[in-house]
């Protein structure tokens, strides 16, 4: 899982630019091999960036953009892989012609990438502009890279996806059988290394799977007997046969078999606990007995909010401990 967040503080001075670069490249935060410059030398980035600004007469106003790509501590991820993902992220068209310094920080219990962008394009002289569509494109590409590397991805709940408005509202409350199925499929993809293992894990969760080479779609049958094809699920474009097979192959190639099995066992144990008679007696609501994965996801939101805060990669509660943060 990766969260993208833009930080918009103290970015209107050249001093702020210098401190931002110094901060993200600090040896207390990262290692030299985890620092990289796109269209600039990270060791001389400040000089190179200010030279471009002055050559176009644009050394006032917003001087840099700072954003962070923060990974979940639950993902099995090395700093080198995170750094590789950062470099691939910068291949998006929106970054063309912009000098960028990126560094992978390893000083927290979660790995995160920092990016400092010169706001003046060295090819055109135009300043950095970003609209909501550009931001969403960046987040979507970050999610796609996470999928390619077998990392977790938080489903974005929006009404534009393949989900009816009623199902959307139900899924927000954790009350949709189809969304529960979607969560089950996602968990089994994330923790399986083959088609056979995926089907086996789905069956352990109580679902039947009809996946044949002669049929275009996969058909799932819920524990309550409701049937649904993969092209009718939420985020259906991400759950085609081909994409599922690709993700399973990535797990087989890069995943730790024992860790994947343990992760799946944790899911099964959590579901079993929610479905146990003792759990039912302790709770007045029965929604968790019908949709245990939705219940687990709902409880995890609190942890995710905490991750979003610490995902900034900065100690916001102790800003006085760092010169750069003090300016913020």
DSSP classification of residue 257? H
- On whether residue 191 sits in a domain, the answer given is yes
Tokens in use for 19?
């401190």
Spatial contact of 105 and 24, defined as CB atoms under 8 Å apart:
yes
Per-residue pLDDT tens for 118-153?
A: 999 999 999 999 888 899 899 999 988 988 888 876
Domain CATH number, residue 30: 3.30.930.30
189 and 114 in one domain? no
173 and 54 in one domain? no
Mean of pLDDT values over 192-216? 95
279 and 231 in one domain? yes
- On whether residue 221 sits in a domain, the answer given is yes
Question: Is 195's pLDDT higher than 70?
Answer: yes
The pLDDT-based confidence of 318 (bands split at 50, 70, 90) is very low
- On whether residue 304 sits in a domain, the answer given is no
Question: Is 157's pLDDT higher than 80?
Answer: no
| 279 phi, psi to nearest 5 deg | -65, -40
Question: Is 17's pLDDT higher than 90?
Answer: yes
119 and 23 in one domain? yes
79 and 21 in one domain? yes
56 and 169 in one domain? no
For residues 121 and 75, the model is more confident at 121
pLDDT given at position 274 = 78
Residues 95 and 98: their CA atoms lie apart, in Å, by: 6
321 and 279 in one domain? no
For the sheet with 219-221, list strands across it. Answer: 208-210, 219-221, 227-229
Q: How many domains does the chain have?
A: 2
172 and 100 in one domain? no
Spatial contact of 25 and 35, defined as CB atoms under 8 Å apart:
yes
Tokens in use for 147?
């999928």
189 and 67 in one domain? no
190 and 54 in one domain? no
Which of 86, 89, 97, 99 has its CA nearest to residue 34?
A: 86
Spatial contact of 148 and 77, defined as CB atoms under 8 Å apart:
no
Question: Is 312's pLDDT higher than 50?
Answer: no
Question: 112: domain range?
Answer: 2-153+309-327
The pLDDT-based confidence of 71 (bands split at 50, 70, 90) is confident
- On whether residue 297 sits in a domain, the answer given is no
- On whether residue 25 sits in a domain, the answer given is yes
- On whether residue 160 sits in a domain, the answer given is no
The pLDDT-based confidence of 298 (bands split at 50, 70, 90) is low
Which of 225, 207, 217, 264 has its CA nearest to residue 244?
A: 217
pLDDT given at position 9 = 72
303-310: long-range contacts, CB 8 A cutoff, minimum separation 24 = 304/154, 307/3, 307/70, 307/72, 307/73, 307/110, 308/3, 308/5, 310/70, 310/108, 310/110
pLDDT given at position 311 = 47
- On whether residue 301 sits in a domain, the answer given is no
203 and 101 in one domain? no
Question: Is 24's pLDDT higher than 70?
Answer: yes
Question: Is 161's pLDDT higher than 60?
Answer: no
For residues 257 and 113, the model is more confident at 113
235 and 129 in one domain? no
- On whether residue 77 sits in a domain, the answer given is yes
pLDDT cut 90: percent of the chain above it: 53
pLDDT given at position 297 = 65
Q: Phi/psi zone of residue 45: left (φ > 0), alpha (ψ -120 to 50 degrees), beta?
A: alpha
DSSP classification of residue 3? E
Mean of pLDDT values over 194-200? 96
pLDDT averaged over every residue in the chain? 82
């Amino acid at each position: 899982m990766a969260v993208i967040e833009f930080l918009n503080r103290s970015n209107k001075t050249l001093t702020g630019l210098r401190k931002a670069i110094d901060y993200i490249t600090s040896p207390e935060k990262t290692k030299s091999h985890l620092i990289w410059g796109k269209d600039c030398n990270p060791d001389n980035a400040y000089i190179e960036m200010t030279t471009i600004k002055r050559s176009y007469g644009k050394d006032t106003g917003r001087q840099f953009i700072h954003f962070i790509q923060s990974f979940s501590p639950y993902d099995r991820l090395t700093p080198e892989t995170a750094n590789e993902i950062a470099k691939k992220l910068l291949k998006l068209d929106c970054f063309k012609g912009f000098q960028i310094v990126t560094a992978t920080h390893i000083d927290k219990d979660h790995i995160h990438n920092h990016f400092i962008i010169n706001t003046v394009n060295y090819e055109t002289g135009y300043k950095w502009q970003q609209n909501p569509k550009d931001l969403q494109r960046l987040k979507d590409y970050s999610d796609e890279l996470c999928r390619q590397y077998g990392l977790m991805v938080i489903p974005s709940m929006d009404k534009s996806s393949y989900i009816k408005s009623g199902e959307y509202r139900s899924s927000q409350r954790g009350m949709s059988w189809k969304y529960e199925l979607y969560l089950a499929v996602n968990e089994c993809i994330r923790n399986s290394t083959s088609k056979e293992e995926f089907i086996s894990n789905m069956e352990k969760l109580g679902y039947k799977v009809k996946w044949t080479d002669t049929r275009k779609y996969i058909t799932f049958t819920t524990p309550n007997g409701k049937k649904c094809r993969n092209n009718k699920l939420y985020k259906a474009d991400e759950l085609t046969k081909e994409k599922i097979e690709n993700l399973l192959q990535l797990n087989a190639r890069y995943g730790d078999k024992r860790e994947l099995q343990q992760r799946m066992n944790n899911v099964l144990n959590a579901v079993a606990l929610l479905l146990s008679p003792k759990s039912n007696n302790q709770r007045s609501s029965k929604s968790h007995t019908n949709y245990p994965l939705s219940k687990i996801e709902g409880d995890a939101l609190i942890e995710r909010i905490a991750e979003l805060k610490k995902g900034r990669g900065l100690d916001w509660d102790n800003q006085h401990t760092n010169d750069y943060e003090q300016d913020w």
